[in-house]
Amino acid sequence: MNAPPDKWTFSALDEILLDLAALIELSPQDRRIAENRYRLLKAHIERPSSPLRPYMVDGESKIFAQGSVATSTTIVTGDGEDRFDLDAIVEADIPPFWSDREALDKLEEALQGFPSVKKIVRCTRCVQLQFATMHMDVTLMDRRGRIAGARPGDIFHSPDKGTSYRVPSNPWGFTGWFRSVVKPGSREFTERLMEIRKSAGRSRIPFLDEGERTTLAKADQVPLPPAIPSHLDAIEAVALKLLKRFLNLRYATSTLKRPPSIWLAKRTGDLGDLGGGLTVQLFMLAKTLADEMRERVARAQRPDERNPSYHPDKINDRWPREAWGEAKQDMDVFASHLDVLMQSLNRMAWQSQDEIMEEMDKLFGERFGKEARKVLADRYDRRSSGTPLYIKPATGAVLAPAVAKSEPQTQPIRSHH
């Protein structure tokens, strides 16, 4: 598979992919609720009884969004349930006499009693706050060293078994780098995405209680500085969301770990906007990654991806695995998954709309495929007029009857009720 699909043949497929992207991302209401949770986190960590409060330096220590919510690439995690996984960093000047394990112990203690949390789970590098349809992974960063740069520091790795240690990290700097290389899309793309969000977007995060609803209503009257970065309406970010969604399903029943999202984001930023439409962008993102995996396997070499803003931060430090046989398996399997995506995108160039939607079910999940069908049906609803619409395989175009008469090989789009 040496070439992506023809960039001029995918207007309809691009639109279906945009529908899916809008279905799986945070809606404006979801983002406002998430922002409120970040504000609650700051207030809770800095309360008088918090064991971390004495080490939060006024005017220095920050609590901020990191990961996919900061790069504007957050998606619904599972297929059987609606859940978003968000990430937060808590900066503090950690006392030198605390052990690496004790630092996470103090963070877990500080998070007890968080409003309306269903469960608090201690993880290897963070403490997870679990809400209905949303998790927040809270990571503690030691900034005592005041390392030069865009807020780098050390986070803590503390497994149930084995040695605890510190890990150089710079999520603030990575977010800045990503948003500097991934620019907002063209005016045409941005406007189309905004229109599609109106028809396809879904709000999935419920309010904690009436108090949270009231707080957000007041925030509308007195706007506050954003707690999480704004939407990034870039074609690269949309392609990354779709790739992450595809990989979530491919790895859902696997014992192997999925490549880390931050590494995928780094490779997305390196690729840039190819200018060929969403289908081409997604195809080439998959192809670039698959080619890299096969080249590294041929050289018996593991990827060593560094944070552009802070070289000591190795952003794929836990993937692939250390032993070469296991690392090779991780990369081979990842490349084979990407092959499936590329082959499907090429097939859809020659398929009817119904066949395209069947492929979408396999790639991104049947439930979201059904939601996308409804969005598409509503958009091209002709039940009131009885006027059919046609799709032309290999052109991706949706045509009216008068135009379709002059175009060979067109097929009617079936009504969806």
Residues of the chain by 3-state class (helix, strand, coil), percent to 5 = 45, 15, 40
List, for residues 66-81, the tens digit of each pLDDT value.
999 999 999 988 655 6
For residue 352, count other CB atoms closer than 10 A to its CB.
17
Q: Which two tokens stand for residue 24?
A: 């799986």
Strand 134-142 versus strand 84-92 pairing type? parallel
Closest by Cα among 277, 253, 271 to 337: 253
Q: Which helix (H) or strand (E) holds 141?
A: strand 134-142
Q: What is the pTM of this model?
A: 0.85
Contacts of 295 by beta carbon, 8 Å cutoff, 6+ apart: none
**pLDDT at res. 406:** 45
**Cβ atoms of residues 398 and 389 within 8 Å:** yes
Say how many CA atoms lie within 13 Å of 17 toward its Cβ.
30
Q: What is d(CA 307, CA 319) in angstroms, rounded to the nearest whole number?
A: 15
**Cβ atoms of residues 282 and 274 within 8 Å:** no
DSSP 384: T
- Counting beta carbons within 10 angstroms of the beta carbon of residue 345, is it exposed (0 to 12), middle (13 to 18) or buried (19 or more)? buried
- Tell me the angle at which helices 235-250 and 278-298 cross, rounded to the nearest 10 degrees: 60
List, for residues 136-169, the tens digit of each pLDDT value.
999 999 999 999 999 999 999 999 999 999 999 9
**pLDDT at res. 9:** 39
**pLDDT at res. 401:** 39
Sorting pLDDT into bands at 50, 70 and 90, what band is 35?
Answer: confident
Closest by Cα among 166, 172, 156 to 123: 156
Sorting pLDDT into bands at 50, 70 and 90, what band is 36?
Answer: confident
Angle at alpha carbon of residue 285, lines to 392 and 133, rounded to 5°: 90
Place of tokens 């074609």: 235
Q: What is d(CA 211, CA 214) in angstroms, rounded to the nearest whole number?
A: 5
List, for residues 183-234, the tens digit of each pLDDT value.
888 888 888 888 888 888 877 777 766 666 665 555 554 455 577 888 889 9
Peptide bond into 320 cis (omega under 30): yes
125 pLDDT higher than 90: yes
**Cβ atoms of residues 20 and 245 within 8 Å:** yes
Q: What are the sequence ranges of the domains in the chain? A: 7-348, 353-412
404 pLDDT higher than 60: no
Strand 310-314 versus strand 390-392 pairing type? unpaired
**pLDDT at res. 395:** 46
